[in-house]
Amino acid sequence: MSEVIGIDRGPPYVCVPGVKGAQPAVIPNLEGNNTTPSVVSFLPGGQRLVGLPAWRQAITNPEDTVYSVKRLIGKKFNSPEMEKLREKLPYKIIEAPNGDILIEAGKNIYTPQEISAFILGYLKECAENYLGTKVEEAVITVPAYFNDHQRQATKDAATICGLKVLRIINEPTAASLAYGFNTRKNGKVAVYDLGGGTFDITVLEIHDGVFHVLSTSGDTFLGGDDFDNRLIGYLLDEFYKEQGIDLSQDKYALQRIKEAAERAKKELSFTPEVEINLPFICSSDRGSLHIQKKINRSFLENLTRDLVEKTINICAQALKDAGLDVSRVDEVILVGGQTRMPLVRQAVADYFGRQPAGRINPDEIVAIGAALQAEIIKGWAKELVLLLDVTPFSLGIETEKGIFQKIIEKNTTIPARKTMAFTTVENNQRRVKIHVLQGESLIAAENKSLATFDLVGIDPAPAGVPQIDVTFEIDADGILRVSARDAGTGREQKVEIKPAAGLLPEQLEEIIKKRRKKDIEATDDEEGLL
């Protein structure tokens, strides 16, 4: 019998709680640590490293060490976010034929889904080693503000490494589940989730085992990496002013600065001042040059204060969407390593008017919630728990003159089903194109395209006479199905929404076949050495 696990896939670390016995247990990785850096490194000899061994390669092997893949998954190469990120990453990102992102590392080309699959596969191996049995099923968390493409890409990554996804659950919702399960408290809760790559705020109500999400909001390009980048930018600017040398073009020097900045940021959460000392950072006609700077906590806070303020503004929007005043929030839960920063904790306390709850490790609470959700799905939980989540974006279709007509509004509780009537715009129109979109703009072109299909065979009639009923149906896993029906003829066309980007089913199957072949070859090589 195989086991089921819950996985928090957020950078910079991954926790894997196993469902074993009455309570979820955080499973240590093969090095004995509870968390695993979300890093994959490819060595010159073809060996692949995952986790801490890979992170240790970041300075000496920067071009073949891949991190922050969560920011890449489900994204387009030419998106504004990626244009900025490409300048900061030491490894090479190239454009796929369909406009998606590909990663060049270790003399090979990988999709972000494959890199994620390497990490998930390692976690699967750790769980199997700890539990002593096969692991084939998982509940996996994603940022609440992940869109349809990003969620599907996460699911594809799990499929590649041999995991069946029982459910994709939003990270803040998972955190609230862990919190509520442990405290048994009723009330309205705000989950402030500031991790390495993303920020989410979710407002929900807990009442007698029912976890009802009221609203969610966030930014998938706002996280601890951005705090690091502020300090990195300062060090680069100061070195250029003092030495006239731009280290941003030196990948080895840049990686050393990145690691030092991240370490300094973490230390400043517990000490008022740190020294960044990087000897022999580069050479010039003046000899070897070094970086030596003292950074205090207030300086870092001034560098990053606007990032924290941005998260508070998003919190305000989430409360507005939930129809709540801040005074009606009974508890605030902090999630993610960046919430250890004193400035963040103080800003959250000031805004909500109360100190955040601190009973559960912010790095592990999401993973524990994922494991609890796995228990609930499998029927192992002794207590009845009902989780009612919401869709993070509005869903609808493009209408005449490029207008976006919302059919399912943002923050609608899922599962959900809604039908809206439309008509033709031309006389004797026999065909209607249904363009399905996701987003909040009234202008269709400013939203994300999900799918396009045609309803054909409409009886000839003057414009405005036929009635076309368009139905949107979204299940608890966030899978959207759309149908269009001509009320006059009864003709109907249905489609299950698949990403307009990402891996096609045949591409996914090809990746899985190649992976299985490599696994067989690796096993044969090992047997040959015995």
Give start and end residues of each alpha helix (H) in 39-111: 52-55, 80-86
- Catalytic one of 193, 331, 364, 398: 193
- Catalytic one of 128, 148, 156, 171: 171
Q: And the tokens for 194?
A: 């500031």
Residue ranges of E strands in 111-267: 135-142, 164-170, 187-194, 199-207, 210-219
First to last CA, the chain: 29
Q: And the tokens for 4?
A: 């089921």
Q: Which helix (H) or strand (E) holds 4?
A: strand 3-8
Query: Does 525 qualify as catalytic in the annotation?
Result: no
Backbone dihedral region of 362: left (phi > 0), alpha (psi from -120 to 50 degrees) or beta? alpha
* Residues of the chain by 3-state class (helix, strand, coil), percent to 5: 35, 30, 30
Q: Is 372 exposed, middle or buried (0-12, 13-18, 19+ CB in 10 A)?
A: buried
The amino acid that residue 303 corresponds to is L
What dihedral do alpha carbons 468, 469, 475, 480 form, nearest 10°?
10
Q: Describe the crossing of helices 224-243 and 251-267 by its angle, rounded to 10 degrees.
A: 120
Q: Describe the crossing of helices 224-243 and 297-322 by its angle, rounded to 10 degrees.
A: 150
Query: Does 8 qualify as catalytic in the annotation?
Result: yes
Coil, strand or helix: which one is 325?
coil
The amino acid that residue 250 corresponds to is D
Coil, strand or helix: which one is 482?
strand
Q: Describe the crossing of helices 505-528 and 148-160 by its angle, rounded to 10 degrees.
A: 30
The residue with tokens 């199957």 is: 509
Query: Does 70 qualify as catalytic in the annotation?
Result: yes
Distance of alpha carbon 380 from alpha carbon 351, whole angstroms? 39
- Catalytic one of 70, 75, 188, 265: 70
Query: Does 156 qualify as catalytic in the annotation?
Result: no
Answer whether the bond into residue 62 is a cis peptide, omega within 30°. no
- The residues annotated as belonging to the active site are 8, 70, 171, 193
